[in-house]
Structure 1
Amino acid sequence: MDDDLETLSREQLIEEARKLRNGIRRHRDSTQHELCWHHPALWGLLPEKSDPLPVVPDWPQFLQGCIKYRQSLDEQAPGAPRTKEPYPE
């Protein structure tokens, strides 16, 4: 799966690491409805150690965000497979 890394130069690998780190930081530093999941294990891959507490929306606002996200999937991925499998406990 990651065979492409074998063909990259040192400079290209460094740039790829920077892109990945910046993506992780953007997720880590997001809050409220921008933060879908709290992933301290992912954030722990960064060299700087930070586990910020997110601002958590109250339930009504949270559920509105869930509905909006699900609606966006219908628009952005209308052909994606659907499931009726319940969320795991």
Structure 2
Amino acid sequence: MDPDQDLAAMNRDQLVAEVKRLRAGIRAHRDSTGHDLCWHHPDLWGLLPERVTPEVAVPPWPKFLRGCLRYREALERELSNAPKADYEYGEKET
């Protein structure tokens, strides 16, 4: 079964509306910043028409934290000039 078969039944206006909805979701994910970078984003998955509960596998704590460190190190390499969000999780950004 093609998970995108619903698209074939849409007219041009419906397709344009769907593209705009998907772009808005992608932009929201892309524009995550600060501590929001550390969270998974089920809202992004919710943009798909099929309703499934993803089977998320979570690594054990030490491996998970090592992955977080590698992700942060990659951000430092790839976005070294990015502003720093210097606040604790749960605090309001200043």
Structure 1 residue 13 and structure 2 residue 13: aligned?
no
How far did residue 41 of structure 1 move? Answer: 3.0
Match of 2:54 in 1: 52
- What's the CA shift string for 1:4-53, capped at 9, x where partnerless? xxxxxx49838x83xx49xx7xxxxxxxxxxx633333322211111212
How far did residue 63 of structure 1 move? Answer: 0.5
Q: Unmatched 5+ residue regions in structure 2?
A: 1-11, 27-37
Structure 1 segments, 4+ long, off by >3 Å, are 10-14
User: RCO (CA 8 Å, sep 6+): is it higher in 1 or 2?
Assistant: 2
Match of 1:69 among 68, 71, 84: 71
In the superposition, the TM-score normalised over structure 1's length comes to: 0.56
3-state SS in 2 of match to 1:75: helix
Aligned length: 65
Match of 2:42 among 40, 56, 68: 40
Match of 2:81 in 1: 79
The CA RMSD measured in Å over matched residues stands at 3.1
| Distance in 2 (alpha carbons) for counterparts of 1:51 and 1:40 | 9
| Distance in 1 (alpha carbons) for counterparts of 2:80 and 2:40 | 27
Q: Unmatched 5+ residue regions in structure 1?
A: 1-9, 25-35
How far did residue 88 of structure 1 move? Answer: 1.2
Letter of the 1:62 counterpart:
F
In the superposition, the TM-score normalised over structure 2's length comes to: 0.53
